[in-house]
Amino acid sequence: MKKVWETEEWKKLKEHVQYAKKLHLRELLRDETRNMELCISFDSMTKRNIFFDYSRQNVTHETMQRLFELAKTCRLNEKIKALSSGEKINATENRSVLHMALRAKKGSTFTTDGKDVMIDVHSVLDRIASFTENVRTGKWLGASGKVLTNVVSIGIGGSYLGPEFLA
């Protein structure tokens, strides 16, 4: 399969961006029909209503169509389904990507290799919660015996989970 930047849809989108850059958002926002067309909402897998307002971006109906065409060419829907079904999409490590399992509620199911990983995931999340509570309350002390006041979190791969648990 071609790289995304090698597709015709990418080239067309890139060409369109040159046009869109010349548009001013103030002018675009005056078009009520455009504004309404660029607002969408739907119920997510978590049963929460999600609202997207693209009207506040420097895009047109044509921009969105080109983005949708690119997504279709890249088989984005298939890739999202593979991600959410626990398929091994991490080709480097030949394993599932568990981002969705990390954010799922206790009691939900996320299966990979025929195993529900949620018990393991929430076990780790519970240990993180315990660690952070012990640091915040001063129950755990540093090597010097003093209360920890600063924590340096070094993550891998840009995960949001590490910085989030410190907040």
d(CA 152, CA 155): 10
Enter the pTM of the model.
0.68
Give the model's pLDDT for residue 92: 86
The model's pLDDT over 144-160, given as tens digits with 9 standing for 90+, comes to: 999 998 877 766 655 55
Give the model's pLDDT for residue 28: 96
What confidence tier does 165 reach under pLDDT thresholds 50, 70, 90?
A: low
- CA contacts within 13 A on the Cβ side of 108: 14
CB atoms within 10 A of CB 118: 19
Give the model's pLDDT for residue 43: 74
Give the model's pLDDT for residue 159: 57
